[in-house]
């Protein structure tokens, strides 16, 4: 262990990013710079960089410079949101940590600090990842051992916030909100003085979660403007904030949101925060987003094989499980090129609708007298994987489980929370409930050789009390869910798990450490999905976003879309089918097979390339695509999401290409079908056009005339 005085300044560099930490003095470290790479800097340069940023002391303030530490403290004069809140029987409400050791290993540093008076130890971990993300977490330990102070009270911890400073030129904020069927809707506003606080108290990440909290230069876009973003990698209650003080300090901060009494630290007990991630983009949101994508793809357990075309039967049959119909669906799925078949809700005891059965994880003998083997075997004979839907954390009051074990339901005192979708929540912090779920899921996976679980979570945790006394239990519940997922993955290493939570209600990097994709939204209306996927992709790469081709008439909105728009929208994610193919015409099935063939051809590019989104001047026309890592090839979608005030459309820039190379741009079948006379009158469309990347990136090509809710594909291939 190296003492802090030997490491006054730390400079980390990775992927075009510099992180400079100021570890001078006894207080907690400060981030002196987080942003573009500063190049090689000497110790004297780092000292000068820090000194150049020290402000003068303002009038009517404390008589010392107040630093913004990575964990801000009231004792240092910080009057913004504090980094640690809690108390010991009313005392020790304000900490004053002194650094005792700083240890650097590669691109990470561990800082240890103590507040002897408060009896607390703090361990900070700060790391710059290979993709240029900065991530932090903290561990708080109650050092009171009960021997020297036998009457010492436990420490009631109510919150830990980790901070990332942003410069004054970040004058605009962006984050997400939403609801079921309209998740991750962006909202932007001025970064004014005060605190913009986003709290999530749903017990899961939530359909209205901030997802990535971004501060940036005024008018920043996908391809322009400096941006700094924060994400809290936690699947329970959490908070993020953007704060600007009258003294000129601006920051992004975040951490778990702890309910009253959730973390009471006894002697030598510790609490560790979730990782809080910061991402920087010098040239807009695409660069910020790309750092998250690269980080996820570098994980040891990131899905590495081709992402299978998945047919899920929910919107085809709902609760009407008929073996003959399901076998027919398997036949048609194999015919069009699907590779995985997922049996959704309705297979277990008493589950004829959503009013009963949740929790009774046994195959319903009245519907499946031979179990699921006749279907699973048939599916595999057709060359398809077999997967199953489950919702382990929930229980219907009308179930054998709830009647047998009412003590396993999350509740506060002698009352149950309001039902949601006729459901309550199982208390996974109860050993009996946890063991039951582990045993049943393990048995199902083993008996049916499942390779895929669609893991749903269809309600918020309202008044989530943890037995036996009904104390707040979201923290315990979240940790138990993680533990359950980890144990199942350890027992079944080839199992893939989808995080499906009312569609997109639990999307964060905490759950993604344990799952292989997310169900992006229950809404598969292609027009709605264009926006939902655009903004979910700010955090997650395409291979983690489940997107399916639905029926011609969307079940959630009633809109009708062409197959080209539906399939072209799903193409840029983990492609699947949510359509009763027995009702599809032979012509439609043949066209769907074309799209599936294209998806299979493009998988290495779509799931390994760089995602790009254009800042097109016409809000009715969206441009997005994927560029190969070596920039030899790219595929773009030009999606008309509304009626434009301009006709014909203007030129569309194709972002991300090598400006020094030349590319041939052509329509890409089957996404090359235009309506009306456009294909005859658009000069370049028939034979394509060859231009330098700089021209295509700045001027682009004339967009095809598009009717509302249509989509075409173009590809760019390097020549010469």
Burial class from Cβ neighbours inside 10 Å (0-12, 13-18, 19+) for residue 39 reads: exposed
- Catalytic residue, chosen from 456, 516, 580, 658, is 456
SS3 content of the chain, % helix, strand, coil (to 5): 20, 30, 45
Non-local (6+) Cβ contacts of 456 within 8 A are: 345, 389, 390, 391, 394, 500, 501, 502
Would you call the peptide bond into 468 cis, given omega within 30 degrees of 0 as the criterion? Answer: yes
Q: CA-to-CA distance for 413 and 323, rounded, in angstroms?
A: 45
How far, in Å, are 540, 611, 613, 614, 630 from residue 222 at the CA level? 15, 11, 6, 7, 21
Q: Report DSSP state, residue 153.
A: P
Residue 260 three-state SS: coil
The rounded distance, in Å, linking the Cα atoms of 180 and 176 is 13
End-to-end CA distance of the chain: 56
3-state secondary structure of 405: coil
Instruction: Name every residue whose Cβ is closer than 8 Å to that of residue 39 and which is 6 or more positions away in sequence.
Output: none
Sign of the C-alpha dihedral, residues 200, 206, 208, 212?
positive
The DSSP secondary-structure symbol of 63 reads S
To which residue do tokens 């290979």 refer? 130
3-state secondary structure of 301: coil
The encoded tokens of residue 384 equal 């398809």
Which residues, in sequence order, are bridge partners of residue 243? 195, 251
Task: Given the residues 522, 525, 580, 658, select the one marked as catalytic.
Answer: 522
Tokens at 483, concatenated:
């533990």
Can you read off the two tokens belonging to residue 457? 């979570």
Q: How far apart are CA 643 and CA 184, in angstroms?
A: 23
Has 442 been annotated as catalytic?
no
Ramachandran angles phi, psi of 65, nearest 5°: -70, 130
Q: Are 581 and 338 in contact (CB under 8 A)?
A: no
322 classed as catalytic: no
- Are the C-beta atoms of residues 254 and 273 closer than 8 Å to each other? no
In this structure, are residues 613 and 281 in contact, taking their beta carbons and an 8 Å threshold?
no
Residues 564, 613: Cα–Cα separation, whole Å: 20
Cβ–Cβ < 8 Å for 495, 535: no
Structure tokens at 418: 């309001």
Where are the strands (E) in 282-384, listed by range? 310-312, 340-343
Residues in the chain: 720
Q: How many whole angstroms separate alpha carbon 216 and alpha carbon 219? A: 8
Q: Which residues are catalytic?
A: 456, 522
């Amino acid at each position: 262990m190296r003492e802090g005085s030997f490491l006054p300044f730390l400079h980390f560099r990775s992927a075009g990013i510099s992180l400079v930490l100021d570890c001078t003095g006894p207080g907690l470290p400060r981030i002196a710079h987080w942003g573009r790479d500063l190049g090689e800097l000497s110790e004297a340069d780092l000292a000068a960089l820090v000194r150049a940023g020290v402000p003068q002391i303002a009038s009517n303030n404390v008589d010392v410079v107040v630093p913004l530490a990575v964990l801000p403290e009231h004792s240092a004069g910080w009057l913004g949101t504090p980094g640690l809140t809690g108390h010991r029987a009313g005392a020790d409400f304000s900490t004053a940590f002194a650094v005792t050791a700083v240890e650097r290993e590669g691109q990470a540093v561990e800082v240890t600090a103590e507040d002897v008076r408060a009896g607390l130890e703090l361990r900070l971990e700060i790391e710059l990842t290979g993709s240029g993300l900065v991530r932090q977490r903290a561990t708080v330990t109650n050092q009171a051992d009960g021997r020297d102070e036998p009457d010492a009270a436990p420490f009631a911890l109510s919150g830990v916030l980790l901070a990332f400073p942003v410069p004054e030129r970040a004058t605009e904020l962006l984050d997400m909100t939403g609801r079921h069927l309209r998740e991750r809707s962006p909202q932007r506003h001025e970064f004014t003085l005060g605190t913009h606080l986003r709290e999530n108290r749903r017990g899961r990440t939530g359909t209205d979660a901030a997802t990535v909290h971004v501060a940036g230069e005024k008018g920043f876009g996908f391809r322009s403007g400096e941006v700094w973003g924060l994400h809290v990698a936690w699947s329970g209650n959490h908070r993020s904030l953007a704060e600007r003080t009258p003294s000129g300090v601006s920051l992004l901060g975040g951490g778990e949101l702890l309910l009253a009494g959730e973390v009471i630290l006894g002697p030598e007990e510790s609490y560790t925060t979730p990782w809080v991630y910061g991402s920087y983009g010098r040239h807009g949101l695409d660069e910020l987003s790309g750092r998250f994508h690269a980080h996820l793809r570098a994980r040891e357990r990131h899905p590495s094989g081709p992402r299978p075309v998945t047919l899920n039967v929910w919107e085809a049959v709902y609760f009407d499980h008929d073996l003959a119909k399901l076998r027919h669906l398997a036949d048609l799925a194999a015919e069009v090129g699907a590779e995985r078949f997922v049996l959704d809700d309705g297979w277990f005891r008493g589950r004829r609708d959503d009013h009963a059965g949740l929790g009774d994880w046994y195959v319903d003998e009245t519907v499946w007298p031979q179990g699921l083997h006749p279907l699973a075997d048939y599916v595999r004979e057709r060359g398809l994987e077999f997967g199953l839907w489950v919702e382990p954390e929930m229980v219907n009051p009308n179930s054998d489980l709830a009647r047998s074990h009412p003590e396993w339901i999350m509740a506060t005192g002698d009352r149950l929370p309001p039902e949601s979708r006729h459901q309550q929540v199982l208390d996974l912090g109860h050993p009996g409930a946890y063991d039951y779920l582990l045993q049943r899921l393990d048995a199902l996976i083993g008996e049916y050789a499942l390779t895929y679980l669609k893991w749903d979570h269809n309600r918020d945790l309202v008044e989530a009390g943890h037995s036996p006394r009904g104390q707040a239990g979201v923290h315990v519940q979240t940790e138990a869910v993680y533990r359950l997922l980890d144990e199942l993955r350890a027992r079944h290493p080839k199992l893939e798990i989808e995080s499906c939570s009312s569609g997109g209600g639990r999307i964060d990097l905490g759950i993604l450490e344990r799952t292989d994709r997310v169900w992006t939204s229950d809404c598969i209306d292609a027009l709605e999905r264009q926006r939902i996927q655009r903004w979910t992709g700010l955090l997650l790469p395409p291979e983690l976003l489940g997107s399916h081709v639905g029926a011609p008439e969307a079940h959630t909105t009633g809109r009708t879309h062409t197959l080209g728009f539906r399939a072209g929208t799903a193409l840029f994610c983990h492609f699947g089918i949510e359509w009763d193919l027995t009702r599809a015409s032979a012509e439609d099935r043949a066209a769907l097979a074309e799209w599936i063939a294209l998806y299979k051809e493009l998988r290495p590019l779509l799931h390994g390339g760089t995602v790009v989104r254009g800042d097109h001047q016409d809000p009715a026309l969206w441009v997005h695509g994927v560029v190969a890592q070596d920039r030899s090839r790219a595929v773009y979608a030009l999606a008309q999401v509304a009626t434009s005030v301009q006709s014909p459309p203007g030129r569309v820039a194709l972002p991300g290409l090598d400006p020094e190379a030349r590319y041939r741009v052509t329509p890409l079948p089957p996404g090359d079908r235009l309506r009306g006379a456009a294909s005859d009158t658009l000069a370049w469309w028939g034979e394509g056009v060859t231009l330098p990347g700089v021209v295509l990136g700045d001027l682009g090509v004339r967009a095809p005339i598009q009717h509302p809710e249509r989509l075409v594909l173009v590809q760019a291939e390097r020549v010469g």
